[in-house]
Amino acid sequence: MKVEEIPDPAVYRLSFYLRQLEAFRHLNRNTISSKQLGEALGYTDAQVRKDLAYFGQFGHPGIGYRVEELIARLKKILGTDKDCHALLVGVGNLGRALLTYKGFPRKGFHLVAAFDSDPGKIGRRYGELEIQAMSEIVRAVGTLRIRMAIVAVPPESAQDAVNQLVKAGIRGILNFAAVSLTVPEDVFVQSVDLALQLEQLSFRMSLGTIQNSLAAPM
């Protein structure tokens, strides 16, 4: 099985399997069947088995999957078996919240440097970190061997920030700015648009009522 032919949705679900397995481990479950894992997440058992089979043979016929073992395997596949350093650009309200977000270190992600373009913020400390000028990014990436960055700047300055990150050698970007970004094809961008999520929720909540407005002249 070549990596390229693994469906994107399957990779995405892999993270959910891992999260759910850790919940099961917390309940002292030793083994789990594809049926049980699927039910906890709203997938079919066949879906779970096929997804996992893309990556190898992890199950034990008659038994199911050993929770501890599968967690270790999935972490290795997802690349979260080792700790990983990342930097943050944009230390506004959202950026500061991300600096102290417990979910990141829990998965082995550590923010080890923070940058902002506002001269008034440079030199201030938030938690462990002292905010640095954008011009320091290149040096920090080099000395700290950082490959991943989180962008939490206003939409207008996001592409500019990203350009600087790419130039500094960053290979993966988690983007919170509500804009489409352009990057070289060897750089990966994962975007999270918080307001867009709320908008999607809004649509799904009005499913019943929308029927009319589709036909209506407006």
Write out the residues near DNA by the rule CB under 7 A.
5, 7-10, 33-35, 43-47, 49-53, 57-65
Contact 165, 89 (CB under 8 A): yes
Cβ at position 80, least distance to a copy of itself in Å:
5
Show Cβ contacts of residue 169 under 8 Å, excluding neighbours closer than 6 positions.
138, 141, 142, 147
Nearer to DNA, 8 or 185 (CB): 8
169: left (phi over 0), alpha (psi -120 to 50) or beta: left
- Residue 19, binding choice from a copy of itself, DNA, none, Cβ under 5 to 8 Å by partner class: a copy of itself
- Residue 140, binding choice from a copy of itself, DNA, none, Cβ under 5 to 8 Å by partner class: none
Nearer to DNA, 119 or 217 (CB): 217
Cβ at position 97, least distance to a copy of itself in Å:
4
Distance CA 20, CA 15 (A): 9
Q: Taking the CB of residue 161, how many other CB atoms lie within 10 A of it?
A: 25
- Residue 104, binding choice from a copy of itself, DNA, none, Cβ under 5 to 8 Å by partner class: a copy of itself
When asked if residue 144 is in the footprint of a copy of itself (CB under 8 A), the reply is no
Cβ at position 68, least distance to DNA in Å:
15
Cβ at position 54, least distance to DNA in Å:
8
**What stretches of the chain adopt beta strand conformation (E)?**
31-32, 65-66, 84-89, 109-116, 125-126, 129-133, 148-151, 172-175, 188-191
Nearer to a copy of itself, 46 or 210 (CB): 210
Helix axes 137-144, 155-168, angle to 10 degrees: 50
Residue 22 host element (H or E): helix 8-26
Binding-site string for a copy of itself from residue 16 to residue 45, where x marks contact by CB under 8 A and - marks none: x-xxx--x----------------xxx---
